[in-house]
Structure 1
Amino acid sequence: MMSSIILNLSPAIRLTDDQFYEICQTNQDLRFERTASGDLIIMSPTGGESGQKEADIITDLNNWNRQKKLGVVFSSSTGFKLPKGGDRSPDAAWISLERWQSLSTTERKKFPPICPDFLIELRSQTDDLEKLREKMQEYLDNGLRLGWLIDPQNRAVEIYRLGQVVELLSSPSTVSGEDILPDFVLDLTSIFQEE
């Protein structure tokens, strides 16, 4: 399995938002992210086990959202233009209805210029844990209210909250959406299950 590749662009080569969007649309078999400094990240496709776990997580989040009708759920193929300059694609994301509706139709069609209120990053076998932690911090720096870094390899969840120290849970059976996602509880049994 291949891990992600970082293409360091020189300061002279600076992709505009439209150029980055066009690269992503022209190469839809690849997943791209862009750091705040402009480096291009080419991510490998997810393996079968990680993809199945990601699908389960998104299904649970979307089922909760359909009942509560409090916001909008996004899959890992959605890119977000973060306020401080990066373009990122979390594995699952949620934005409150009020914040989503504040965006124009044009902003919603491309990479929405907003940081999700809530998101999940699911560590795959090839993901570097420190890089994922840096990415979670980048989300917090851009206004994320609640985020979960789920690490099946170590049976751990790191909870990121705006303005608070990261909380580490070891082998939790569930994790709660707290006041951001009222009554949402993710069962981690299948996520931590050995294949």
Structure 2
Amino acid sequence: MAAILLDLSPVICLSDDQFYDLCAKNPELRLERSATGELAIMSPTGGETGKRNSDINLELALWNRQAKLGVVFDSSTGFKLPNGAERSPDAAWIPQAKWEGLSPEQRRRFLPLCPDFVVELMSPSDTWEDLLNKMTEYQANGARLGWLIDPENKRVAIFRLGKPIELLENLSVIYGENVLPGFSLTIGNIW
């Protein structure tokens, strides 16, 4: 099931606090908000997607535990992007300095920044075009590296800040490049 889009603008424009409270009061819903205020209600993932997402987060967190370069976030974490959208990528990472620059209050709420690294894992309910748009939004808001992973078609779109999208198929390994030095994900395990 694709995300349900809800435009509340004829009735109300939610403030950041109201949107945060709406999410907190309805934790069973996976909500995101576009830069124009449109709400996206996303369905939970199925078992295969959940397993794949967990594997990606595990590998990223293990690398980060060794590298000690930043902080890793799962798909439950909300980010308030510079354009005003609130998004929750399937996996995300920020450098330690960005984390340390946040106040305790900022750390408790949706993080007011764009992650340096994001992953979106395509599930059967997603469309390639919608996720390409979301990844382009991350890139436009400062994400230095992003991976859009499509297990069904065994392809990965790589987004790099200031560069065109690179589409690769049938990879065995994908690398964190200069954003996540030394990180690699055996993508064959995700297919």
What's the TM-score once normalised by structure 2's chain length? 0.98
SS of the equivalent of 1:126 reads coil
Q: Which residue of 2 aligns with 1:45?
A: 44
Q: Which residue of 1 aligns with 2:149?
A: 150
1:42 & 1:12 partners in 2: Cα distance? 18
How far apart are residue 11 of structure 1 and its match? 5.3
Moved over 6 A (4+): none
Percent identity, aligned pairs only?
A: 57
How far apart are residue 41 of structure 1 and its match? 0.5
Choose 154-163 or 7-16, whichever is displaced more: 7-16
1:182 & 1:55 partners in 2: Cα distance? 21
Deviations 1:139-172 (A, max 9, x none): 0111000000000111000000000000011110
How far apart are residue 12 of structure 1 and its match? 5.2
1:11 & 1:144 partners in 2: Cα distance? 32
Gaps of at least 5 residues in structure 2 are none
Aligned positions, number: 191
1:138 & 1:6 partners in 2: Cα distance? 17
Deviations 1:28-79 (A, max 9, x none): 1110000000000000001000000000000000000000000000000000
Q: Which residue of 2 aligns with 1:166?
A: 165
Q: Which residue of 2 aligns with 1:106?
A: 105
2:180 & 2:46 partners in 1: Cα distance? 28
SS of the equivalent of 1:154 reads coil
1:141 & 1:170 partners in 2: Cα distance? 24
For residue 186 of structure 2, what is the amino acid of its counterpart? D
Q: Which residue of 2 aligns with 1:76?
A: 75
How far apart are residue 9 of structure 1 and its match? 2.0
For residue 135 of structure 1, what is the amino acid of its counterpart? K
How far apart are residue 100 of structure 1 and its match? 1.2
SS of the equivalent of 1:153 reads coil
Gaps of at least 5 residues in structure 1 are none
